[in-house]
């Protein structure tokens, strides 16, 4: 049995964040708290308009569970009560956190995982002019892995500028469905020459069948095309990696299962995030253990994170303090 509290929380961004579909200056998240016998479990999700979500619609989905949660709704039953998406994610993660506190056992142990370790984490440079992106790359040149947002005319010039600004950093790129197949085929050899390791979602998810018919010299990662395990069958042969985000999968429960099944099918695994606080990243870090790419930099993009938050340093992003989650 658990008493539900759900609310919107807003975080100002450190600077305007731009991708191929638009720009924003704040992160609007939904925070869930589940209380029972003096214990409180927390979860956070980031509604995403591209998937037909809003803060209001997600809060309404979560509110629809109020009576069920008070009657003892558990994680297993939750998987069929709500579809994969942000609302289920926040509740699922709060239920994990609540159980960890009830049992005085960390979530990683409850899930049968090894103790989590720090993971090298990408830092995202949002879409801008080549000159601005060069300057941003210089400011972050000592970070080991940079993720570059692309998806428009002049992408090659942007990447050349970033490589100039950060000559030693590993680079990955994210087109956010902003390319077509000829663009991928034209850019891929150039990007490989620049040391780019992979590209996320170059084509629209609805138009990616052609990826199975070409040589993917630059590895391709499915983001918008991959949500939960039901997505995987259609991705075989089209993509080399999948990007697991808890807001897409509908929580930690499904994300862990998705990771296992994807790896069994031969996919590399990237663990990513929407722009949210450390409360969103903490459960995702359990999925990120041993992943090919970890992209949990949401808190680094905020003007101010939750307190306590995750710790980031030269070793990467560290496991959450128990006061935050898990």
Q: Which residues are catalytic?
A: 149, 245
DSSP for 39-79, please give it.
EEEEEEE---GGGT--HHHHHHHHHTTHHHHHTT--HHHHH
What is the chain's alpha carbon radius of gyration, rounded to the nearest angstrom? 19
| Ranges assigned E (strand) in the chain | 3-19, 22-36, 39-45, 123-125, 145-149, 170-174, 196-200, 220-222, 241-244, 268-271, 293-294, 312-313, 316-317
| CA 272/CA 244 separation, integer angstroms | 6
Q: In the numeric block, which tokens belong to residue 154? A: 């002049």
| CA 51/CA 201 separation, integer angstroms | 15
| CA 129/CA 161 separation, integer angstroms | 9
| CA 243/CA 268 separation, integer angstroms | 9
Find where tokens 């970890």 sit. Answer: 294
DSSP for 181-216, please give it.
HHHHHHHHHHHHHTTEEEEE--S-GGG-GGGGGS--
| CA 71/CA 69 separation, integer angstroms | 5
Contact between 174 and 150 under an 8 Å Cβ cutoff? The reply is yes
Give the DSSP H or E segment for 255.
helix 252-264
């Amino acid at each position: 049995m658990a008493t539900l509290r759900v609310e919107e929380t807003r975080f100002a961004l450190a600077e305007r964040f731009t991708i191929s579909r638009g720009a924003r200056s704040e992160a609007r998240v939904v925070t869930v708290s589940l209380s029972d016998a003096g214990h409180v479990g927390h979860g956070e999700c980031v509604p995403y308009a591209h998937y037909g979500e809003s803060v209001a619609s997600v809060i309404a989905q979560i509110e629809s569970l109020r009576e069920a949660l008070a009657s003892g709704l558990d994680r297993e039953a939750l998987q069929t009560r709500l579809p994969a998406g942000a609302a289920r994610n926040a509740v699922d993660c709060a239920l994990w956190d609540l159980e960890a506190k009830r049992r005085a056992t960390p979530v990683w142990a409850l899930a049968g995982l090894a103790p989590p370790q720090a993971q090298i984490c990408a830092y995202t440079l949002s879409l801008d002019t080549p000159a601005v992106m060069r300057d941003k790359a210089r400011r972050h040149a000592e970070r080991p892995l940079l993720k570059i947002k692309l998806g428009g005319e002049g992408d090659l010039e942007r990447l050349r500028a970033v490589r100039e600004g950060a000559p030693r950093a590993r680079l990955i790129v994210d087109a956010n469905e902003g390319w077509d197949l000829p663009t991928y085929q034209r850019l891929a050899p150039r990007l490989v020459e620049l040391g780019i390791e992979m590209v996320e979602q170059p084509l629209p998810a609805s138009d990616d069948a052609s990826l199975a018919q070409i040589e993917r010299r630059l590895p391709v990662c499915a983001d918008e095309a991959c949500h939960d395990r039901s997505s995987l069958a259609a991705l075989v042969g089209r993509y080399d990696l999948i990007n697991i985000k808890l807001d897409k999968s509908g929580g930690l429960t499904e994300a862990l299962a998705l990771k296992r099944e994807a790896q069994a099918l031969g996919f590399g695994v990237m663990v990513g995030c929407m722009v949210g606080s450390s409360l969103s990243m903490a459960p995702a870090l359990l999925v990120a253990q041993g992943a090919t790419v970890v992209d949990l930099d949401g808190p680094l993009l905020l003007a101010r994170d939750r307190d306590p938050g995750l710790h980031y340093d030269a070793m990467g992003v560290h496991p959450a303090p128990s006061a935050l989650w898990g």
